[in-house]
Chains A and B, each alone.
Chain A
């Protein structure tokens, strides 16, 4: 579905997200701690909820030239503390190792948003040692601790490969000496429960059944964008889901919204306020390409929003770091 049609569809379902804001400053930029880069849409999986529409068939991937432009921005701006690499399966980008090594040399903390199964793919076995050697933080997708639920969302065999990968990561020190976090998203048209509650369930079950340890569980709501939006439309659930999101709107999440603390860069170097705006092609105001990055301009921009933003402000909130608010 083209992005204009997606935006129009979302605008027609519920009250406007902007109408509920106490003022434009309520979502003004606060920092640029996190440099999130989406290095491509290619993935070894094709998950049913994916807002990136990533799959093995996608070919979009970040070039070396754009990777270098990202590194230049990281080098020249001390405000960036964390490089958060996502995709697709970010490890499938041919410059993934280079990006990680160079960012670490700049003193940045690096997070790899890993789907786990890529670690078990032929040709990617090196990743275990590579990620361990550089102590790259792994934030890994695992939507459920049951095989049936996970495979239903992410494809047959994903659960068993993920468990195998997590067990190997544990033996390498992940989950104890090196941060290993899991990402949960609901396996359907409902919102996530509280992060603490689900983390308790995940930790208990994964430890008991598979001997797996991890640090934190991040709970993320499904975004009504791309593949998940198509599912909502196909099942006649769009209105119901948007009512659910808008009905659960929680203004205390505004302070911690990820768009207020990060930059999001697309595979082509385009600059966005977040990965969701990136998928809706809502380019950041002031700075539209990473090669022309400028801190003061970026921090003075107006963050672009739409009704998809109800996804990040529902309930306890939702971000790449999971739940936002405990109020």
Chain B
């Protein structure tokens, strides 16, 4: 493999059904239903997807959901805030674990 990530591979996402069509089809059917408007709008769902894309650091998803957010009517300010939420959560998750560290320190302290 010359590159671990290739933007052209995004178009091959549908090929994941190759070795197990039944499960692959179920996944895409469920995925598409999740992204449909419901209690949340399509724009709001696209913004959540964009935040998750950053949190999980998926370049395919960042590519796809940056476009999707714009198509659904989100603007750059909203997208930026979504990424900040992802970043704040990631930082918060790290920091809240310091409670465990402090618990251990306290446990070991005289």
Contact = CB atoms under 8 A, between A and B. Distances in A.
B71 A191 contact: yes
B75 A144 contact: yes
The dominant DSSP class at the B interface is: helix
Given A197-B42, A201-B43, A190 B70 contact: yes
Interface in A165-204: 186-188, 190-193, 197-198, 200-202
Nearest to A194: B42
A198 B70 CA distance: 11
Interface residues of B, number: 12
A193 B42 contact: yes
Contacts of A145: 73
Given A193-B42, A197-B37, A200-B41, A146 B72 contact: no
Contacts of B43: 197, 201
A197 B46 CA distance: 12
Given A200-B41, A201-B41, A193 B76 contact: no
B106 to A, nearest CB: 49
Query: In the complex, which range does the number of interface residues on chain A fall in?
Result: 10 to 19
B45 to A, nearest CB: 11
Nearest to A315: B71
B82 to A, nearest CB: 15
A13 interface: no
A198 B75 contact: no
A16 interface: no
Contacts of A197: 37, 41-43, 72-73
Contacts of B73: 144-145, 193, 197-198, 201-202
A149 interface: yes
A193 B71 contact: yes
Given A197-B37, A200-B41, A201-B43, A190 B77 contact: no
A113 B92 CA distance: 51
B70 A188 contact: yes
A264 to B, nearest CB: 28
Interface string B74-108: 01110000000000000000000000000000000
Nearest to A199: B73
A57 interface: no
A201 to B, nearest CB: 4
Contacts of B67: 190
B44 to A, nearest CB: 10
A201 B75 contact: no
B71 A148 contact: no
B70 A187 contact: yes
Residue with the greatest number of chain B CB neighbours at <10 A, chosen from A186, A193, A200: A193
Given A191-B71, A201-B72, A148 B77 contact: yes
Contacts of A144: 73, 75
Contacts of A202: 73
15 contacts: A144-B73, A146-B75, A148-B76, A148-B77, A188-B70, A190-B67, A190-B70, A191-B71, A192-B71, A193-B72, A197-B43, A197-B72, A197-B73, A201-B72, A202-B73
Given A198-B73, A200-B37, A202-B73, 17 more contacts: A144-B73, A146-B75, A148-B75, A187-B70, A188-B70, A190-B67, A190-B70, A190-B71, A192-B71, A193-B42, A193-B71, A193-B72, A197-B41, A197-B43, A198-B72, A200-B41, A201-B41
Interface of A: 144-146, 148-149, 186-188, 190-193, 197-198, 200-202
Counting from the closest, the 9 A-B pairs by CB-CB distance are A201-B73, A193-B71, A146-B75, A149-B75, A193-B72, A197-B42, A198-B73, A190-B67, A190-B71
